[in-house]
Structure 1
Amino acid sequence: MGCILKGGGGLYSRLVMGSVLLAAGSASRMGNRPKCLLELGGVPLIRRQLIALSGAGVDELVVVLGHHADLIEPVVRDFPVTVVHNPDPDAGQVSSLRVGLQAFTGKIDAVLVALADQPLINAQDINDVIGAYKKRPEGSEVVQPSVEGQRGNPVVFSQNVREQILAGDADVGCRQWQKAHPESVHQWETANTRYRIDVDTPEDIDALAERTGHRLTWPAALTPAKA
């Protein structure tokens, strides 16, 4: 499926979009349980992200695993994705991003980097940020959602940025590239708060339920036994 989006003057040229979905962290603040397996409406968050990305027509999808890979991989195995493993996930998110960026097998024009712990992102949200990338100001190579001045996710950047990241030092990822090239970054202003919502702690789960009415729950296998 391709990303052919309508604009004011007709159709934009077809954009071949690759996506890296990051799910390699240890989730230490969540009691070392993989937060991407939290469920909303009975569906694990990582599957919700894969459904959203597939629904948005992403052409090639890479999932990066590390910690808890034995628990997460069976949940994503039935999707048409490339699963890769970060051999050193404790090296941080930049290392996982670089593993993912290296894993694309086909030609791509741009990369969308998504996080597996954003519970409310849907296919329309993905389409909207891709659309913002296609309409970005001339000279911009990165598009990041900005909600009331706060940066959100997912982020989209060009194949050129991907190549520069991979050619750079091991500690260079998207955020470091943006810091070094602020003139090439377009902060896309949007009122969509879903781009800012993720869950890192049990308190985040409670706050999400209080704010939105959406209650995340652990699958039975990851629910601590009561004393």
Structure 2
Amino acid sequence: MRAIILAAGLGLRLQQPAGDQFPKCLLQFDGVTLLERHLQMLDAAGVHDVVLALGFQPELVEAELKRINWPHKVEIVLNPRFDLGSVLTVHTVADAITRGGDVLVMDADVLYDERILSALVAGETVNRLLIDRDFETGDEPVKLCLQGGVPVELRKQLAVGLQYDTIGESVGFFRFREETARRFADIVAGYIDSGRANMPHEEAVRDLLLERSHVFDTADVTGAPWIEIDFPNDVARAASEILTQLRPFISLARQTTS
């Protein structure tokens, strides 16, 4: 199983002061960056094949990798046009997506409980989505809608009259089987070829789901704390509401120097 962590973006909505911007995966909570938390939990889950898709200030992320001293090699792929949509970042890692085996595609800007990753990686080869039914309505969450257990929508804005029996927020992590990952890469390439490089990669996932050519199961992670960090108030909520519910982490760098 291979994990692809998307960490290329500018993070403009965080409203960091000019000159002080840095990749969101380097946000620290209790002295541990989001990147290190990702790597530690992947390691605990037995996922050691990691590809990191970078763009904005990659040297800062590479320095953090050295500081962490994670015991496995991390493959780094650069997207020089990180100012465009995340679908282009996914396209830059197409080789890793189609290399074989199950693939995890994960946003880097998520603070989450280990139960969420456990639900994603459990079992043999499978296509899997994660849904949190306890979510705040509004325009920002990416909604996942199911009808009889089958995904019928994955979007922030739902069409009027859409029929579904379950709705929740999609956690920004997806799992694809080998053949499904190849089809996903093809769809992403179609976005680039048709001039839609400014789109979010979730749109390509949506196209894949609505083709109905690959069966997906859905793991319900309702009750497991997590937050995607896009805005300044998300940082505050992550520290005050989410972090307090998570198992304490000890930095790998701190362990090796103690």
TM-score range, shorter chain: 0.7 to 0.9
SS class of match (2:9): coil
Partner of 1:139: none
1:94 Cα deviation (Å)?
Answer: 1.1
Q: How does 1:23-172 map to 2 (within 5 A)?
A: 23-30=7-14, 31=16, 32-77=21-66, 78-79=69-70, 80-103=73-96, 108-122=100-114, 124-131=115-122, 134=124, 142-148=127-133, 149-168=168-187, 169=190, 170=192, 171=196
The alignment's TM-score, normalised by the length of structure 2, stands at 0.65
Partner of 2:252: none
The alignment status of 1:187 with 2:218, answered yes or no, reads yes
Partner of 2:152: none
1:25 Cα deviation (Å)?
Answer: 0.5
Q: Is residue 110–residue 158 contact of structure 1 (8 Å, CA) maintained in 2?
A: yes
- Looking at structure 2, the residues matched to 97 and 76 of structure 1 have their Cα atoms a distance apart, in angstroms, of 21
1:213 Cα deviation (Å)?
Answer: 5.5
Residues 24-78 of structure 1 deviation map (CA, whole Å, 9 limit, x = unaligned) = 0101112233221111221111111111112211141100110121211111244
1:19 Cα deviation (Å)?
Answer: 0.8
Identity level (%):
24
- Looking at structure 2, the residues matched to 134 and 175 of structure 1 have their Cα atoms a distance apart, in angstroms, of 26
Structure 1: state its 5+ residue gaps. Answer: 1-16, 137-141, 216-227
The alignment's TM-score, normalised by the length of structure 1, stands at 0.73
Runs (4 or more) in structure 1 with deviation over 6 Å come to: none
Structure 2: state its 5+ residue gaps. Answer: 134-167, 246-258
Q: 1:190 to 1:69 in 2, by over 3 A?
A: same
> How many residues matched?
190
